[in-house]
Amino acid sequence: MARAATTSDAFNAVAEPRRREIIEVLALGDTHNVGDIARKLRMPQPAVSKHLGVLRKVGLVNVLKAGQQRLYSLNAKPLKPVHDWVGMFEKFWDDQLKAIKDAAERKAREMAANKKPNL
């Protein structure tokens, strides 16, 4: 099966780790120009521009033209389907964490019982 274009939806856009890093920078608030993002992430400016173009096409970033600059900010609304989908798996993480917690508590009780002085 052919892979969907990276500009088809938020799932495909955030599949690329460098785009997720850009989203994280933008999630901190404020607006950023391409140069700011490139410096923060130590990425070449053309690469940042390319990734911002993908994020813009799926609606994950807003662009404000300020003279010669373009200022980018996050539009998190298109991430809602990603959040909802990942949320389906929270039960599995909760079950695993509960199992780890139960095992740790059981081990702590065993260790406490073995430390009781014999009278």
pLDDT tens column, 27-78: 998 899 999 999 999 999 999 999 999 999 999 999 999 899 999 999 999 9
Is residue 64 within a helix (H) or strand (E), and if so which, with residue range? strand 61-66
Do 61 and 21 share a domain, yes or no? yes
Do 42 and 85 share a domain, yes or no? no
CB atoms near residue 40 (< 10 Å): 15
Do 68 and 106 share a domain, yes or no? no
Range of the domain at 38: 10-79
Do 45 and 87 share a domain, yes or no? no
Predicted model pTM: 0.74
The answer to the question of residue 69 being in a domain is yes
The answer to the question of residue 75 being in a domain is yes
Number of domains in the chain: 2
- Give the Cα-Cα-Cα angle 88, 93, 97 (nearest 5 degrees): 155
pLDDT score for 61: 97
**pLDDT 10s digits, 6-25:** 667 899 999 999 999 999 99
3-class DSSP state of 61: strand
Instruction: Give 1-7 contacts, CB < 8 A, sequence gap 24+.
Output: 6/54, 7/54, 7/57, 7/58
